[in-house]
Amino acid sequence: MRVVFLGNAPWSVPSLEAVAGSSHEVGLVLTSVPRPAGRGMRLTPTPVADTARRLELPLLEVETVRSGAGFDALVQAKPDVLAVVAYGEILPQAVLDVPRVAPVNVHFSLLPKLRGAAPVQRAILGELDLEQDTGVTTIRMDEGMDTGPILLQVAEPLWPNDTAGTLGQRLSDLGGRLLVLTLDGLEAGTIVERAQDGARATYAPKLTADDEVIDWNRNASMVLARVQALTPEPGARTTYRGRALKVFRATDASYGQASEGGSGQAGMIILASESGLVVDTGHWPVVLEEVQLEGKRRMSGVEFVRGYRPVPGERLG
C-alpha cells in the first residue's frame, strides 16, 4: 500500500524505517519545518526529516498539514494509509478523510490507558497499576484524542530502572514492527477493529514545568520515578544555593550510605563525600549520581561534591 508518513520526534524514526523497509511504499514523508535548537539556536531539521533524507524518501517540511501546502501535498500524494507517529498536532476530520483505507496512529501505551501526549513519562511516574504492563497500540484515528478503534496492540514490561529514554526507545522500536503488521493486516483485510472502552480510560497529559520539580517530601521511590521519567530530557529540577539543579540519575542510598549520613529532613543533604551526594526524602535517602547545575555541564554526584563542596545540613529545593 501507498503510505504517507507524518511524524516529528526521535520516537517516530523506527516506524519510518520499518515502513521504508517493508513491502509498502512510502509515497511522502511530512514533517515540521526546521526549528531553532541548541545553544546556538540554529535551525535544526526534525529527526524524521534527517531520516527521510538518509533513506532518500520523498520529503516535505511544512508548518502544518491542517491546511495550505501541507494539506495540498497530502491530498496530491493519494495515500492508502496516513501513518501518524509522535507528530504532536491534532488532526481535523478533513485530514483524516484523505487516505483511502485508514488514518493510523501508533500510540505508546495500551489504550485506553494513558491517552494523551506523554504516555511514556506518565507510565514511569506511576500512573499505571503496579502490576500493569505498558505497550503499543495502533488505532484508526478519529477526531478525539487517542479515542479511535484499536487495530493491533502489544504489551511491553515496564522495568524498575526504566527512564523515558530507555522505555521510549523500546516502545518506538516495537511500534515500528506493529505499524508494519497493521499495514499488512489492513491490506489483507484480516484486522478486526474493536472499540475502546471509554470507562477504562486514563490520561497522560503533556508534562508541565510543575511536573519537572522534585518534591523531596515524597518517598524515595516517587522521587526516583520523577528523575527517571524526565531523563534524558528535560531533567528533574530542584534548587541548590538559589540556582537550578537538574538531576538525571539517582538511586536508593545503601544502608551504609544512609547510616553514615544519619537522618535529616526532606531535601536535606545528609552526606557529601567520596561516598556520594546523599539527600533525604520523605522516606529513605537517595544518592544523586548525575546532576547539572544551571549554566554548567552534566557531572557525576562525586564530581559535584568535589567542585562545589556541599555541606551536610544544606537543603535542596
- Taking each continuous run of H as one helix and of E as one strand, the counts in the chain are 9, 15
Handedness of CA 30, 36, 39, 44 (dihedral sign): positive
Domain spanning 2-200: CATH 3.40.50.170: yes
pLDDT score of 257: 78
| Rg value, the chain, Cα | 22
Q: List every span in the chain annotated with CATH 3.40.50.170.
A: 2-200
Output the pTM of the full model. 0.94
Contact 253, 226 (CB under 8 A): no
pLDDT score of 131: 54
CA terminus-to-terminus distance, the chain = 54
Give the CATH number of domain 210-308: 3.10.25.10
Within 8 A by CB and 6+ apart from 250, the residues are 223, 224, 227, 286, 287, 288, 289, 290
Per-block mean pLDDT, blocks of 10 residues, the chain (317 long): 98 99 99 88 95 98 96 98 95 98 99 97 80 91 97 96 97 99 99 97 96 96 97 97 98 80 84 91 95 97 96 95
- SS percent in the chain: helix, strand, coil, step 5: 30, 30, 40
Which DSSP category does 234 fall into? T
Contact 258, 223 (CB under 8 A): no
- Cell 477504562, located at residue: 200
pLDDT score of 127: 67
What is the CB neighbour count within 10 angstroms for residue 4? 26
CA gap 193, 151 in Å, rounded: 5
pLDDT score of 255: 76
- Cell 521511590, located at residue: 221
Q: List every span in the chain annotated with CATH 3.10.25.10.
A: 210-308
Helix/strand/coil for 49: helix
C-alpha cell at 71: 494539506
Which DSSP category does 265 fall into? -
List the one residue out of 214, 229, 236 whose CA is nearest residue 281: 214
